[in-house]
Amino acid sequence: MPERMAKSSRSISTLSSKSEAIQTSSTVLTLTQVLNYFAAWLPKPGNYPRIVRPYLVYCLTNKYSIDRFSLSLFAAGLPANRISPLRKFLLFYQIQGMPRLVVDPRQLLQRFQRPMN
């Protein structure tokens, strides 16, 4: 099990210039990887990764970016206790530089190996 990051490493640093405000990462992560990193980042992950997974699948399926706009579409009608973990994930995702997400290779294989009826 990965060690939890110190609380000080999770704080948001201030931006030194306007050009740093919109930096994105060139990293590519699978859905499972980003959820594992999110769980490690949280002091007490609880069921947050489980709540976030359907949102990420929704974004990947519909080819939406992971941002407040897609969150508002997904979260319409959800109770506040389901929206709060999603907002926390958006904060984590922005701190990580918004890496590109892809479907897990295992899920992709299962999708193509299903028998045709």
Cα distances from 42 to residues 6, 39, 48, 66, 97, in angstroms, run 10, 5, 9, 19, 17
Q: Which residues contact 117 (CB under 8 A, 6 or more apart)?
A: none
Residue 74, both tokens:
């997904």
Instruction: Inform me whether the pLDDT recorded for 67 exceeds 80.
Output: yes
Distance CA 103, CA 50 (A): 16
pLDDT digits (tens, 9 = 90+) for 11-35: 444 444 444 444 556 789 999 999 9
**What is the mean pLDDT of the segment spanning 53-59?**
95
Of residues 22 and 92, which shows the higher confidence score? 92
pTM strictly above 0.75: no
